[in-house]
Amino acid sequence: MSLETLFQPMCFLTAAGLVVVGLYAVIFMDNLLKKIIGVTLISDGVNLVLITGGFNKIVAIISPEQAENGVTSVIYEGLKEYPEFAAQAAYPLPSALVLTSIVISVSIFAIMLAIAIKLYNHYNSMSCSVIFKEVDE
C-alpha cells in the first residue's frame, strides 16, 4: 500500500487521537489550563477531519438532479483536460472553512486563558478542585 493511499486514513486516525486526548484532558485532568488545552485539542482534531475530507477529492458542485441526468459542473469539466492535476486536486472549500474555524478557536482560547489568569490571581491555584470547591455553596 502506497504512502498516498495511507495519508487520508492516517490523518483521520491522528484527528481521532487528538479528540480522544482532548476529551481525556477535559474530563479527567484537574488542572484548568490542561482542560483548556484539551478543548483546543478537540477543536484541532475536528479541523483536521474537516481538511482531510477535502484531500484529493473532487466533489461535483452540481445539484443531485443534474448529477442524475449526467451533467457535470463547469468548474470541474475544465479539469478533464488536465487529468494529472484533476487526480491530485483537493476540494478547496474545507481549506476556507478551516481557516475560519481556527480563528474562532483562537478567540475562544484567548478568552478562556484570560479568565484562567483572573481565577489564578484570585485562588493562587490552577486546580479545579480548589477553584470550583465552593461553587455550589
Which of 46, 79, 89, 126 binds other proteins (CB under 8 A)? It is 46
- Interface pattern 82-121 for other proteins (x via CB under 8 A): ---------x-xx--x--xx--xx-xx--xx--xx-xx--
User: Is the sign of the CA dihedral 55, 58, 59, 61 positive or negative?
Assistant: positive
- Cβ closer to other proteins: 9 or 57? 57
Residue of the chain from 11, 14, 21, 26 that contacts other proteins (CB under 8 A): 26
Query: E strands of the chain, at which residues?
Result: none
Measured between alpha carbons, how far apart are the two ends of the chain, in Å? 60
The phi-psi region of residue 53 (left if phi > 0; otherwise alpha if psi is between -120 and 50; otherwise beta) is alpha
Q: Does 25 bind other proteins (CB under 8 A)?
A: no
Identify the residue whose cell numbers are 484567548.
110
Sign of CA dihedral 52, 58, 63, 69: negative
Which among 43, 47, 23, 44 is positioned nearest to 35, based on CA atoms?
23
Q: How far is the CB of 22 from other proteins (least distance, A)?
A: 8
Number of residues written out for the chain: 137
Q: Is 81 in the site for other proteins (CB under 8 A)?
A: no
Q: Which is nearer to other proteins, 68 or 84 (CB)?
A: 68
Contact residues for other proteins, defined by CB under 8 A: 19, 23, 26, 32, 35-36, 39-40, 42-43, 45-47, 49-50, 53-54, 57, 59-66, 68, 71-74, 77, 91, 93-94, 97, 100-101, 104-105, 107-108, 111-112, 115-116, 118-119, 122, 131-132, 135
